[in-house]
Amino acid sequence: MNWFSLTICLFLLVLGTPDLSRAGVRGALNDYSRLSGSAKLSLVGQTIETDGVKTSDANHFVQHYSVLWEKKAQLYRGRIGEYAIALGYEWNEIDSNINGKQAEFDTPLNKLLYRGDFTLAPGGLPFKLNAYAKDMQRTAFIQDNRMDIVSDITNITATEKGFTLEAGITNGHFQGQYREFLAALPLILVDYNQRVVQDTSSRTKRDYVDTDLAILSLNKKNNWFHFRRFVHSDKINSKNDNSTQSVLLGTINPSNRRKWINLTNWIQVSTDISHSISTNNQNPTAGDNSRAYNINLYTKVYRNRLRLQNLTNYSRRITETRLERTLSVPFYAQGQMNRATSWRFQLESTQYRDAKSFDSASEKFNDTIYMRGQVDAYRRSRYTVSPKIELDTKSTDGFKGNSIRATLELYSNSNFRAKNLVSESRRLCAVGARRAS
């Protein structure tokens, strides 16, 4: 039973000056400088009784104070760039008692808060640099599982810093003073980020560094070069260390969206090739450490009443003990013979090979082929006829099977149906055969 539960939240020191710059300066409306603060006091007492016997008695008195100064301004009236900074501090005081035992905290109760963001973007030049560093992780109070009493505190150090750089132009038509020189340079994008997390005093200890780097370059219209690297370094347990590195060349933009190149006004092509390396110290022999190659060749054909699409992919993955290869060739086609007759065709072929590294005798394979053809005839008549045939084959190192299925459907055309009738479809013929060995 709760004998008293009281929480007082006071927010003090809220000072704001939304704009300290002169209104006559261009762009100054976005500038500001302000000071804010808060105070929070929490007083809680709680008891638990079972069958009239007091089984738990706890209380706490928590004090939390914070102050934060922020400023944002432009550089040379916004012609060069802008910056934003913040500086703050948190004070915490905790008096917690659970069943006569005073809670002790190894985590620092006070913390410095900061944030800095600097953008350099000279007007008239295809150049933009943004650098930042911050640690705005606020204090969090952890309550006991059975009661609303603060039993621990989370006050981690979560530092994040990095920069992004964009230099060059995408279309090669820069109109500035140095247009001839700048038009010959490739577009370069660089993104670097490092996050450091340190929390070695709480119950769940954490101390790691995550580093993420991406370098992209556009050398011709939609042909991009990607280099990406991610590293996770655990200072407490090195078995959690892992990293990934990849290199890609092809028609994939910085947002990882595929771009298409027009060979003609009715043929489009998109292709890319990549190589990646992954390492993991947790279990190196289980395939976590690997090298992979991946090739994609996609084509699309749109001409009059004909639609063709091919999505070929080849991948090769090498681990500590295995070599895996996969070739996938999906092909789709559709068209119209006339206004009343259309057709569709689908082919999906996959070849998979799995073997111990450099040991072809241990190779296992899995090959599948699926084909389907369908015709929709008399679409402008009262009844539509739709014959369809499907062929499926599968072959592995221990099984081989084939199946064929033919279907003929007759259904009424919705343009000739009465509004109060429900559409009806009747399957007139279905023939299937299957052979396995």
Q: Which helix (H) or strand (E) holds 176?
A: none
Which residues, including other chains, have CB under 8 Å from residue 183's CB and lie 6 or more apart? 169, 172, 173, 174
What gap in Å lies between CA 210 and CA 198, rounded to an integer? 12
423 within 8 A of 401, measured Cβ to Cβ? no
What gap in Å lies between CA 384 and CA 112, rounded to an integer? 75
Longest dimension (CA), the chain: 89
259 within 8 A of 221, measured Cβ to Cβ? no
pLDDT (0 to 100) of residue 199: 83
Angle, vertex CA 231, rays to CA 230 and CA 233, nearest 5: 160
pLDDT (0 to 100) of residue 29: 57
Residue 278 token pair: 């992954």
pLDDT (0 to 100) of residue 157: 87
Q: Which of 139, 133, 134 is nearest to 156 (CA)?
A: 139
Please, where are the H alpha helices in 347-395?
A: none
Residue 241, sorted as left (phi over 0), alpha (psi -120 to 50) or beta, turns out to be beta
Backbone angles phi, psi at 276, to 5 degrees: -135, 150
What gap in Å lies between CA 134 and CA 82, rounded to an integer? 17
Instruction: Please give the C-alpha separations between residue 7 and each of 11, 48, 154, in angstroms, as whole numbers.
Output: 13, 18, 20
Beta strands 242-250; 261-262: pairing state? unpaired
What gap in Å lies between CA 102 and CA 116, rounded to an integer? 39
pLDDT (0 to 100) of residue 24: 37
pLDDT (0 to 100) of residue 216: 93
* Alpha carbons within 13 A on the beta-carbon side of 68: 18
pLDDT (0 to 100) of residue 148: 79
Residues 267-309 pLDDT 10s: 999 999 999 999 988 765 555 789 999 999 999 999 888 999 9
The ranges of the chain with pLDDT < 70 are 1-29, 106-107, 145, 170-184, 283-287, 357-361, 417-437
pLDDT (0 to 100) of residue 107: 66
Q: Which of 435, 434, 366 is nearest to 406 (CA)?
A: 434
Q: Which amino acid is at 344?
A: R
Token match 């539960």: residue? 5
| End-to-end CA gap in the chain | 73
Residue 115 token pair: 């944030």
Which residues, including other chains, have CB under 8 Å from residue 414's CB and lie 6 or more apart? 423
Q: Which amino acid is at 336?
A: Q
Instruction: Please give the C-alpha separations between residue 200 and each of 64, 108, 111, 156, in angstroms, as whole numbers.
Output: 22, 11, 15, 8
pLDDT (0 to 100) of residue 437: 39
2 within 8 A of 46, measured Cβ to Cβ? yes
